[in-house]
Structure 1
């Protein structure tokens, strides 16, 4: 089987690696197809594999007493499981699962841990990515604490839009409600308001982004900082 070539990879974190660092990982990368709601990392369980999304994206969630609430989103810009690996633990209380199906590049956690220990440049790049994740998480906290549902939804749709090709998102109202930690009826009303303002177009299990600028008008500083840091520290390509 031929090895995966860096030039053909869609994952931006892998593409940002030096050729030497990519060569360390190349023999161990395995392509896999993901399924909707497939568990990648289970809360409290040993992390054996990590995942570089190529197509689609994953949610990082906290499972509270009442319901799951999303605290992070990882698409082709990142690595699912990066923080526990680099911070020296083999498990996390957070769950990561597929929110939009597609393809991933899977790697053994032990292999990546050793590679990061041996290469300063690889470790630095992954730590910079974790830094952007921390900013994303802090803005999620801000959004939940300070913004109305319509603004939180606009932010979340922009983040999803960043991680797909085209303008269409495959999402249900039920799933949106779970990710935002609200009732389904509230999400339905917020979507109707966004659609009425010409920001999106809603169809059964699908949302089409019509006007990003109009969505950006609603986010009140909760979107953009993590993306800007990623572009500054890792690159925008």
Structure 2
């Protein structure tokens, strides 16, 4: 594996005890994830699960007319491909790369073998970890639907910026207003106005294709409760996710 990259950059992989990790490590394939790359289409058969490290992936629901909006994001905190172990091999959503970077792919068959592995009378650590993550992802999807229906474009933009920041090592985002509008399913003019308000307030600085968050606390003061609900549920379900290298594990994650 490339020494510049490590599976431990993904929180779920880093939380696996040594024995579980060593079973799948030889099969984890480092892949580049360029901005805009489509990892799977709606209704397509899933061949791999993806564990992002530096990339951020976006799940979109696409209507019959071709319109789409984001229903959830997946970064280094999670995995793309939950339908593999939730009873189906396809999904009605499209997965595209929102922020370019890297991640690791694992063949669907190998993920299922580890997910279904039984140790003694108990299910394996991988199963417990993935199911807890799935519950957190369902919360994110549900809250996104509520937010899109009931909250202002500015509040939605603040939520999206904060969730994206949580997955990045810096306060710099490479993203055009047009792409953000597509993510949120709103008109570009709405994003332009909302971003303008946030820039005037001194919370962000925007220049062609780049957003710098100057005052995160300011964004948190403008965001709706949806961001807090998603973050709190993720922290509650995955609060004991730890790095195997820092905390050697012999039992559950």
Q: TM (normalized to structure 1)? A: 0.94
Structure-2 residue corresponding to 1:169: 173
Contact 2:58 2:98 (8 Å CA) reproduced:
yes
Which of 199, 203, 206 lines up with 1:202 in the alignment? 206
User: Structure 1 unaligned runs (5+)?
Assistant: none
Cα deviation, residue 108, structure 1:
0.3
Structure-2 residue corresponding to 1:95: 94
Contact 1:3 1:26 (8 Å CA) reproduced:
no
Structure-1 residue corresponding to 2:112: 113
Structure-2 residue corresponding to 1:41: 40
Counterpart secondary structure, 1:179: helix
Task: Measure the CA separation in 2 of the matches of 1:234 and 1:198.
Answer: 33
Task: Kindly provide the CA deviation profile for residues 110-144 of structure 1, in whole angstroms up to 9, marking residues without a partner as x.
Answer: 11011100142210110000000011111101111
CA 3–182 in structure 1, closer or farther in 2 if over 3 Å, else same: closer
Structure-1 residue corresponding to 2:127: 123
Cα deviation, residue 206, structure 1:
0.4
Counterpart secondary structure, 1:55: coil
User: Structure 2 unaligned runs (5+)?
Assistant: 243-253
Contact 1:152 1:219 (8 Å CA) reproduced:
yes
Count of matched residue positions in the alignment of Structure 1 and Structure 2 = 234
Matched, 1:67 2:97: no
CA RMSD of aligned residues (A): 1.8
Q: Pairwise mapping of residues 196-235 of structure 1 onto structure 2 (< 5 A)?
A: 196-235=200-239
Matched, 1:160 2:164: yes
Task: Measure the CA separation in 2 of the matches of 1:170 and 1:40.
Answer: 20
Structure-2 residue corresponding to 1:81: 81
Structure-2 residue corresponding to 1:139: 143
Contact 1:13 1:234 (8 Å CA) reproduced:
no
Task: Measure the CA separation in 1 of the matches of 2:31 and 2:67.
Answer: 29
Matched, 1:14 2:18: no
Task: Measure the CA separation in 2 of the matches of 1:13 and 1:224.
Answer: 21
Matched, 1:192 2:225: no
Counterpart secondary structure, 1:222: helix
Structure with more relative contact order (C-alpha pairs < 8 Å, separation 6 or more):
2
Task: Kindly provide the CA deviation profile for residues 166-199 of structure 1, in whole angstroms up to 9, marking residues without a partner as x.
Answer: 1000001110110111111111111101100111
Task: Measure the CA separation in 1 of the matches of 2:227 and 2:57.
Answer: 18
Q: TM (normalized to structure 2)? A: 0.88
Contact 1:155 1:223 (8 Å CA) reproduced:
yes
Task: Kindly provide the CA deviation profile for residues 205-226 of structure 1, in whole angstroms up to 9, marking residues without a partner as x.
Answer: 0000111111111222111223
CA 130–8 in structure 1, closer or farther in 2 if over 3 Å, else same: closer
